[in-house]
Amino acid sequence: MWIRRFIQLQLGLCLYGAAAALMVRANLGLDPWNVFHQGLSLRTGMSLGTASILMGVVVMLAWIPLRQKPGLGTLFNIFVIGLSMDAALAVLPQVEGLPLRLGLMTAGVVLTAMGGAAYIGAGMGTGPRDGLMIGFNQRLGLSIRVSRMLIEVSVLAGGWLLGGSVGLGTIVFAVGIGPLIQIFLPWFQALGRTERRVAQV
């Protein structure tokens, strides 16, 4: 069971990073955190994946005063997403034409949700950014909704000021990611339940 969950975690994280690369190539706007990562990348010259890894480490350090404890999945989340993002960007060509860009954007949002549901469903620890949200909820008394909104509005504004891409994709991601994860998550949770039933036979 642990091996299956670990494989699911890795595949989910790789898919999440590759989906982010699709949204970059669509050039129609990124999700709030990647707007910030892209802005940081533009200002420093580091790759987008490296910027993601760096911010993941910084955010996880912010867990310390919030008394959050990382899991194995947290550590892999930081590195695998960034590395897979850079790997996908290295092989994905630039695209032209609005229909193709819209297709990449849509695929990016859907696959982000699928990848997110896979690594969440693996149950091996939250990502650093989700852990920050949970920490605000548990230690500061803010609701999950308010915590998420404050964090994402802050990084979106910061990323935009740094030159990150904000556009239609940002809006589609904000509106669609929650419902899509809600659709995909039972699939991956059901895999675990089926495996437990088989083990008990």
The per-residue pLDDT for range 165-179, each reduced to its tens digit, is: 999 999 999 999 888
Burial classification of residue 134, based on how many CB atoms lie within 10 Å of its CB (0-12 exposed, 13-18 middle, 19 or more buried) = middle
Q: pLDDT-based confidence at 199, cuts 50/70/90?
A: very low
Whole-number Å distance between alpha carbons of 123 and 174: 24
Length of the chain: 201
Q: Is the pLDDT of residue 192 over 70?
A: no
Give the CA radius of gyration of the chain. 17
pTM as predicted: 0.88
Rounded Cα distance, 112 and 151, in Å: 19
Q: Which of 81, 24, 31, 85 is nearest to 57 (CA)?
A: 81
Residue range 108-125: average pLDDT? 91
Domain boundaries, the chain: 2-200
Query: Within 13 Å and on the Cβ side, how many CA atoms surround 91?
Result: 6
H or E element that contains 30: none
Nearest to 109 by CA among 55, 52, 34: 34
Instruction: Name the residue among 157, 159, 195, 162 with its Cα closest to residue 3.
Output: 195
